[in-house]
């Protein structure tokens, strides 16, 4: 079976840094993806970690520790437009992503 945990909601102020954690237990594991979804919108790809360590893409960074079955998404210099849902999604085979329940991020002025 598959098990994923991420916080349901996070609130932060504009300009701050926020970290969204994800722990997983899956039947297979290729790597960990992160997707962003605004209300009424489509999920969009943010980041992928196939190996342990930190990946940085602009204001967003993602980290993976395979031995701990743990990853996080770090969002820096928060902007109002970052208010959205963030999903961690382990890739469990060549094609299959399992989406976590999502973390709703609210950025306040």
Query: Under rule CB under 8 A, which residues in 12-31 are in contact with other proteins?
Result: 30-31
Q: Does 91 interact with other proteins (rule: CB under 8 A)?
A: yes
User: Least CB distance from residue 15 to other proteins, whole Å?
Assistant: 28
Helix (H, G, I), strand (E, B) or coil at 70: strand
Closer by beta carbon to other proteins, 9 or else 14: 9
41 makes contact with other proteins (CB under 8 A): yes
| 17 vs 107: CA distance, rounded Å | 10
Instruction: Provide the β-strand partners of residue 73.
Output: 20, 62
Structure tokens at 54: 């930190």
From 16-24, 51-59, 66-74, 97-105, span contacting other proteins (CB under 8 A): 97-105
Interface with other proteins: number of residues (CB under 8 A): 21
Compute CA distances 68 → 19, 64, 72, 73, 85, whole Å: 17, 9, 12, 15, 24
Q: Does 96 bind other proteins (CB under 8 A)?
A: yes
Displacement of CA 66 from its chain's centroid (Å): 15
Q: Which two tokens stand for residue 10?
A: 């996070």
| Interacting residues with other proteins (CB under 8 A) | 30-31, 33, 41-45, 48, 50, 87, 91, 94-102
């Amino acid at each position: 079976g598959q098990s994923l945990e991420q916080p349901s909601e996070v609130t932060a102020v504009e300009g701050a840094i926020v970290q969204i954690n994800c722990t997983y237990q899956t039947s297979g594991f290729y790597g960990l993806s992160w997707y962003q979804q605004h209300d009424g919108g489509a999920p969009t790809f943010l980041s992928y970690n196939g190996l342990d360590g930190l990946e940085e893409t602009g204001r967003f960074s993602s980290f993976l520790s395979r031995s701990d079955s743990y990853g996080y998404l770090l969002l820096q210099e928060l902007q109002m437009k970052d208010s959205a849902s963030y999903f961690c999604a382990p890739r469990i085979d060549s094609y299959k992503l399992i989406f976590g329940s999502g973390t709703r991020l609210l950025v306040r002025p």
